[in-house]
């Protein structure tokens, strides 16, 4: 059945335009599924029953996988079987009778603005790498970029006079995001003073370069962020999307329109953006105090 998985991954890559990271995730989950079927001595698509998938889900629960990980596995399996039917490789979908595991909505970690500001004060801008880090983190926070979007930026994607950047997001969807004056200031300094000294002949137009003149890796950016979080003395754990979450939450706290924030984040579904409206209870209490007629009457 491995040949069908290869066909499905090609479909996800070519037809759906999924990123390499998403493809790796699908491949991992579905390889686990096919290996489980092999152990169960299932050798053809028509032999797969709903109970086989239920058993796999039960095994994953036994391994203490989180509900969202199990749900992702089941989603990958469902998509795989829908593809098999659509392409007429199979006539039966064993997933139609299965229910997705109930999944709690996990709120992302968000730093306060003073905490973000403290992180953005830690770079030694007298050095090329420090200036790069300053410009890079300012852009991440100003534009709410995913790390994959940040490291994919080209010099040609930056429009400083117009005050925006062009971003290639999930599914190769392009969007335009405002930069803001602070990020523009540090980008100009980076492009003028640091990048020319980091660039090599092979660097092409990659915007943010490592100390060898190559494109930064996702892990490299995350390590840089964690370094400055620790340097700032912030005890909260930093994640790759930390500044993206802060961008969205702080905009909404400032009164930004939810639809506009959705567009800047590149979310296909507004419900994904709505999670940021549930984060800051102190902010909600303040809004309630200022806006509710019973509170204003006091």
Section 62-77 average pLDDT? 82
Interval 135-194: pLDDT, tens? 999 999 999 898 889 999 999 999 999 898 998 887 778 888 888 899 999 999 999 999
Q: What is the pLDDT of residues 217-230, one digit of tens each?
A: 888 998 999 999 99
Based on the residue annotation, tell me whether 81 is a catalytic residue of this protein.
Answer: no
> 146, 195, 245, 250: which one is catalytic?
146
Q: Is 241 a known active-site residue? A: yes
- Active-site annotation holds for 244: yes
Task: Please check whether the two domains, 2-86 and 113-286, share a CATH topology.
Answer: no
Distance CA 135, CA 199 (A): 16
Answer yes or no: 26 catalytic: no
Domain 113-286 falls under CATH 3.30.830.10: no
pLDDT at 240: 72
Which phi and psi angles does 215 have, rounded to 5°?
-65, 135
Mean pLDDT of 258-285: 67
**Catalytic residue (choose from 82, 170, 193, 218):** 170
Kindly report the average pLDDT of the chain as a whole number: 84
Query: For tokens 């991440």, what's the residue?
Result: 140
Q: Where are the domains of the chain?
A: 2-86, 113-286
Catalytic residue among 7, 52, 189, 267: 267
Q: How confident is the model over 233-257, as a mean pLDDT?
A: 83
DSSP per position, 120-148:
TT---TTSHHHHHHHHHHHHHHHHT--HH
146 has catalytic annotation: yes
Q: Region 66-84: what's the mean pLDDT?
A: 86
Q: Can you give the pLDDT at residue 279?
A: 55
Q: Catalytic pick from 134, 244, 245, 250? A: 244
Q: Mark whether 276 is an active-site residue.
A: yes
Entry pTM: 0.60
CA distances from 165 to 23, 149, 178, 220, 232 (A): 27, 11, 6, 22, 28
Residue from 81, 134, 241, 250 carrying the catalytic annotation = 241
CATH no. of 2-86: 1.10.150.130
- pLDDT digit string (tens) for 16-56? 888 888 889 899 999 999 999 999 898 888 889 888 888 88
């Amino acid at each position: 059945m491995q040949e069908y998985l290869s066909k499905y991954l090609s479909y996800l890559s070519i037809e759906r335009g999924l990123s390499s990271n998403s493809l790796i995730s699908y491949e991992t989950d579905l390889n686990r599924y096919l290996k489980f079927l092999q152990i169960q001595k299932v050798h053809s698509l028509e032999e797969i029953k709903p109970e086989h998938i239920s058993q796999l889900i039960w095994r994953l629960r036994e391994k203490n996988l989180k509900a969202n990980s199990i749900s992702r596995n089941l989603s990958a399996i469902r998509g795989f079987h829908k593809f098999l039917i659509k392409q007429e490789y199979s006539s039966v979908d064993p997933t139609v009778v299965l229910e997705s595991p109930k999944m709690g909505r996990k709120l992302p970690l968000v730093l306060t603005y003073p905490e973000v500001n403290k992180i953005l004060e830690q770079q030694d801008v007298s050095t090329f790498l420090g200036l790069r880090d300053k410009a890079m983190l300012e852009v991440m926070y100003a534009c709410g970029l995913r790390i994959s979007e940040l490291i994919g930026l080209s010099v040609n994607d930056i429009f400083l006079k117009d005050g925006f950047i062009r971003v290639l997001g999930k599914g190769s969807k392009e969007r335009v995001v405002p930069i803001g004056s602070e990020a523009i200031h540090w980008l100009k300094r980076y492009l003028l003073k640091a990048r020319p000294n980091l660039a090599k002949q092979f660097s092409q137009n990659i915007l943010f370069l490592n100390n060898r003149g190559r494109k930064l890796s996702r892990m490299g950016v995350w390590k840089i962020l964690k370094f400055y979080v620790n340097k700032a003395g912030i005890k909260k754990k930093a994640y790759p999307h930390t500044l993206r979450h802060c961008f969205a939450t702080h905009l909404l706290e400032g009164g930004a329109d939810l639809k506009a924030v959705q567009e800047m984040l590149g979310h296909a579904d507004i419900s994904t953006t709505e999670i940021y409206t549930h984060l800051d209870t102190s902010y909600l209490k303040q809004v309630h105090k200022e806006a509710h007629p019973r509170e204003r009457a006091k």
